[in-house]
Amino acid sequence: MRTLDDLFAEGVSGRRVLVRADLNVPLDKQTGAITDDGRIRAVLPTVGALVEAGAKVVVCSHLGRPKGAPDPQFSLRPVAGRLGELLGAPVHFATDTVGDSARSTVADLADGQVALLENLRFNAGETSKDEAERGAFADQLAAFGDAYVDDAFGAVHRKHASVYDVPARLPHVAGRLVLREVEVLSKLTGDPERPYVVVLGGSKVSDKLAVIEALLPTVDRLLIGGGMCFTFLKAQGLEVGTSLLEKDLVETCRNLLERSGGKIMLPVDVVVADAFAPDAAHDTVRVDGIPSHRLGLDIGPETVAGFSAALSQAKTIFWNGPMGVFEMPAFAAGTRGIAEAITKADAFSVVGGGDSAAAVRALGLDESSFGHISTGGGASLEYLEGKALPGIAALEN
């Protein structure tokens, strides 16, 4: 895989460099303000280095999941503002992706200036399953660059035009972020120092089945919390009230538990509430005492203590997915407790995922006390599953 340094060795001054970034940041539903700018900060090393080297930097990204047509709530305009603040120089925003505004914005760039194109997913060609439709869009995008840099680690698992088809059309290299992410994650799939403990949370088992399958032979301990734990608890024959439950996966979870050789640790207590609401009445109960009318929204203190003890032994840790509804203070203690246990462990720790990374920052934890905070949720999981990632494969070609 060629890297940014290879591109610099060729010289980029005055050249147009198209950078695919993942600037898919969370926005406040009411105000539209950026609530976590971690993904913007994560591309600064690449974009900043290109600016310094005098390239004309054309940044492109998706945001959210618009349906192939312009949709103002998913505009990247606020991101252009924040990127400019962080770079300390204005970012020229194109109000379309490959139209007149994009063409003139790119044409007007001086050396060392930065443009940001409007949301790639305002164009059906970006995510199309049809090769020709994707290819036609990729042609238009590729026309804006003399070289292509992929720094969108969070999107490398997507076979999308800007990720997969553009690098086939331009000299292409991996950006600093993609390179660092791959270096770190390859340590986990290679020969991790043991004990290797993985913590998985988040709402759905269905999102994590493949990674659980892939990790079971490798890990020493797999700690499961978050909404997904209830399908496992049900598989143990427990009643879970009105908690999140994927009924069709109970059997699969039972099978995983049987095959796990005792590696899987489940909660022993949970915080149950009357409703999914920040001010709902709530109590901590044992997992065999979940009332039929209440739902679990966090792991309980005894579970935090048990998980923390397992984490304190670890030499390598991977964590993906919150342990509870951490956005609501009443249900944040589990996620906070686990995050703190990870920072205290004398281990190489990797936090995977948009949500877990956002949780670390939202809870005010010190980012530098983790070994690595990945910008990719789905991407880091698919990497650990051992899947071929279209964006990485395209860079290796």
As annotated, the active-site residues are 39, 204, 354, 378
Among the candidate windows 90-98, 176-184, 315-323, 369-377, which touches Mg ion by CB under 5 A?
Answer: 369-377
How far is residue 224 from each of residues 126, 178, 182, 232, 237, measured CA to CA in Å? 35, 28, 25, 9, 17
Which residue's Cβ lies closest to ligand 3PG?
24
In three-state secondary structure terms, 200 is strand
- Measured CA to CA, the distance from residue 316 to residue 195 in angstroms comes to 6
x-marked contacts with ligand 3PG along 26-65 as a string, rule CB under 6 A = ---------------------------------------x
3-state helix, strand, coil in the chain (%, to 5): 45, 15, 40
String marking each residue 297-336 x if it binds ligand 3PG according to CB under 6 A: ----------------------------------------
- The dihedral formed by the CA atoms of 291, 295, 298 and 304, expressed in degrees to the nearest 10: 20
DSSP, collapsed to helix, strand or coil, labels residue 188 as helix
CB of 49 closer than 8 Å to CB of 91: no
State the minimum distance, in angstroms, from the CB of residue 265 to Mg ion.
Answer: 26
Site string for ligand 3PG, 116-155 (x = CB under 6 A): --------------------------------------xx
Q: Does 92 bind ligand 3PG (CB under 6 A)?
A: no
C-beta separation of 122 from 66 below 8 A: yes
Tokens linked to 10: 């060729």
Alpha-carbon distance 178 to 217, whole Å? 27
Q: Name the minimum Å distance from CB 386 to ligand 3PG.
A: 19
Give yes or no for residue 202 binding ligand 3PG (CB under 6 A).
no
Both structure tokens of 110: 């001086």
67 interacts with ligand 3PG by CB under 6 A = no
Indicate which single residue of 22, 126, 165, 385 sits in contact with ligand 3PG (rule: CB under 6 A).
Answer: 22
List interacting residues with Mg ion (CB under 5 A). 377-378
